[in-house]
Amino acid sequence: MLTITFIECTAVIAAAIFGVLLATRTNMDATGLFAVAFAMAFGGGTVRDLCLDRHPLFWIENSHYTVIVFFIALAASLAPGIVSKFERFLILPDAIGMGLFTVAGADIALDAGTSLFLAVLFGVITGTFGGVLADIICNEIPVLFRPGTPLCATCCFIGAWGFVIALKMELPRPGPAILGFSAVIIARLSAIKWRIALPPINRNRPPAPSEPK
């Protein structure tokens, strides 16, 4: 049976790998690489735990997570040439980490006694906010908020609903987790492949005037 700890640990590993690939792509030094890896792996879950008033935070309670991320980042910093060869596979650890964190976040929120809708929102937060923090550290507008970029939070929203509905239908475990995770993966990879994106809110707004020189 898939346990929430196993799902969460696997999500941390996938997110850390995505973090080091993202840092490598943006030509960061070793310090930046460590920062991005830790933000990616722990950012979303930390926001969730703080909102739910869960103490200690999940990565403090499971301190081996930090050791795992540290050694992933250390290996990447010692062999940047090898890491750069895997940049084209950036979407895979991104989608995997997103799906696993979404399921873990929704499950933890339900255990904390939230409603189904709030559990879905916490699943989305857990699945996406690590990426928001990582993009900010990389001095980029977070992918989550960029107009015209493939669906991200929407994919987590779909997967989280699949997970909580399957739970309420009493689908035997690990069925709900597999369903929710698969839904996020399929939706995210499909959005990237076919460039499915949400339209900007105000498409008719004129461009901002140039700054005076």
| Tens digits of residue pLDDT in 73-98 | 999 999 888 887 887 788 999 999 99
Neighbour-count burial of 189, counting CB atoms closer than 10 A to its CB (0-12 exposed, 13-18 middle, 19+ buried): middle
pLDDT of residue 211: 41
Q: What's the rounded Cα separation, in Å, for the pair 72 and 95?
A: 18
The set of residues, in sequence order, having a beta carbon less than 8 Å from that of 32 and lying 6+ positions away, is 23, 26, 137, 138
Characterize 21-59 residue by residue with b for buried, 16 or more Cβ atoms within 10 angstroms of its Cβ, and e for exposed. bbbbebebeeebbbbbbbbbbbbbbbbbbeebebeeebb
pLDDT of residue 63: 95
Which of 28-37, 44-53, 55-64, 76-85 shows the lowest per-residue confidence on average (mean pLDDT)? Answer: 76-85
Q: What's the rounded Cα separation, in Å, for the pair 126 and 35?
A: 18
pLDDT for 175-202, tens place per residue?
999 999 999 999 999 999 999 999 887 7
The residue-averaged pLDDT of 54-60 equals: 96
Q: How many CB atoms lie within 10 A of CB 200?
A: 11
Which residue has better confidence, 207 or 23?
Answer: 23
Q: What is the pTM of this model?
A: 0.92
The residue-averaged pLDDT of 23-30 equals: 90
What is the rounded average pLDDT for all residues in the chain? 91
Percent of the chain with pLDDT over 90: 79
Domain parsing of the chain, residue ranges: 4-193
- pLDDT above 70 (res 209): no
H/E/C letters for each residue in 33-93? Answer: HHHHHHHHHHHHHHHHHHHHCCCCCHHHHCCHHHHHHHHHHHHHHHCHHHHHCCHHHCHHH
